[in-house]
Amino acid sequence: MPVLLVQTPLGDLASSLEHFFNATTEFFRHLSEVHWSQFGLALLCLLGMQLVRAWAWRNVLKAAYPEKRIGFTHLAAAYLAGAGINAIIPAHAGDVTKIFLVKRQIPDSSYPAVTSSYIVQTVFDTSVGILVLLYAISQGLLPPLPELPHLPAFEVSFWANHPKTLAITVAVLLVLIVVGVWYLNQRVRRFWARVKQGLVILTRPGDYMRQVFAWQGVGWLLRFAAFWFFLEAFGLKGSVGNVMLVMSVQAIANIVPFTPGGAGAQQALLVATLHGPSRAAVLSFSVGTQIAMAAWSVVLGFAAIFLVFRTTDWRGLIRQAQEDADREDGDGGGGAAVAT
């Protein structure tokens, strides 16, 4: 029976988690070899990325509510708070909190409009994410398709071994989205008008490119720089190819993660694809970067919650966000949109 367990999805998942914990051991074993100046620069770049993306979101909201004053301090704090909560709580609880905190700062705003304004960022993220993956594939940086089922990463090997299951999962998700949209359209007639209000920046291509896309581009460059410095901090060579590979691996591991943050999958993929450095160095870099990014998000998020919103009850913020959304839904305002 123990031999058969390894061949089951549960066994693969355990293997993926074991891969992550082994990598964690390597990280602490090589902790003294980390170059802390580059490590600190990487963290500063990540902070800059979050602030720049928050500014881009502010510009989207300004287009949706031109007559309202939208302060950047509270919006940036909401953005950092949501990122911190996302680092420890699954199911996008941090995104719900971001939207709740921002809506609270804009009088007479609605959840559908604020939510759709936040989703505007996915236009850039999706476009650049596809380009990064295409670059990695074209340069042969990622494993060929026949090797994917044999990687010791459950997220990757499971879907590669079960293409029909993947197709069914995607189809079910699409059906649920269509049904959800139909349900909201039937239940809340004002819903679409408010959604369009949040997307108004997209109807002005010039403003969108200058005020949103360009700022998100700066954020992406800061994220690129952060990974470059992380590579250097762990003694790996910082290069365009290596950074693009790391970003591609992160994207793949987080598509449908079975573990928090794609833990295990990222380590397995990087060991299989990042050639040159030793296996121990790659594992140390991968898990060290993953832990650092999560911990840094938590520190910044909870600092923002305490310093700007004057509370330490982050669970209460999540609960209040959902209650507020349900209350608006009951009033016919389409608050259910925030629950997705």
pLDDT value, residue 331: 57
- Out of 215-219, 290-294, 318-322, 327-331, pick the least confident: 327-331
**Which of 74-78, 91-95, 333-337 is predicted with the least confidence, judged by mean pLDDT?**
333-337
Whether residue 236 is predicted with pLDDT greater than 60 in this model: the reply is: yes
pLDDT over threshold 80, residue 46: yes
The whole-number pLDDT of residue 124 equals 94
**Residue 309 predicted with pLDDT over 70:** yes
Separation between Cα atoms, residue 71 and residue 59, nearest integer Å: 11
Note the pLDDT tens digit of each residue in 205-234: 999 999 999 999 999 999 999 999 999 999
- The answer to whether 29 and 284 are in contact (CB under 8 A) is yes
Residue 62 has pLDDT above 90, yes or no: yes
Average the pLDDT over 13-41 and give the result: 72
Structure tokens at 312: 């330490």
- Whole-model pTM above 0.85? no
Q: Is the pLDDT score of 262 beyond 90?
A: no
Give just the sign of the alpha carbon dihedral 252, 255, 256, 258. Answer: positive
Q: What confidence score (pLDDT) does residue 255 get?
A: 60
- In angstroms, what CA-CA distances link 256 with 74, 88, 169, 170, 181? 32, 17, 10, 10, 22
Q: What is the pLDDT of residues 147-163, one digit of tens each?
A: 444 444 444 445 555 56
Q: Which two tokens stand for residue 330?
A: 């009951």
Mean per-residue pLDDT of the chain: 78
Mean pLDDT confidence for 22-48: 84
Q: What is the pLDDT of residue 174?
A: 82
What is the per-residue pLDDT for 161? 58
Range with the lowest mean pLDDT among 105-114, 223-232, 301-310, 323-332?
A: 323-332
pLDDT at 177: 77
Least confident of 62-71, 121-130, 149-158: 149-158
Radius of gyration, alpha carbons of the chain: 21
Domain spans, the chain: 10-66+122-311
Hey, what's the torsion of the CAs at 252, 257, 258, 260, to 10 degrees?
120
Contact predicate 28/273, CB 8 Å: no
More confident call, 116 vs 173? 116
> In the predicted model, what is the mean pLDDT of residues 330-338?
47
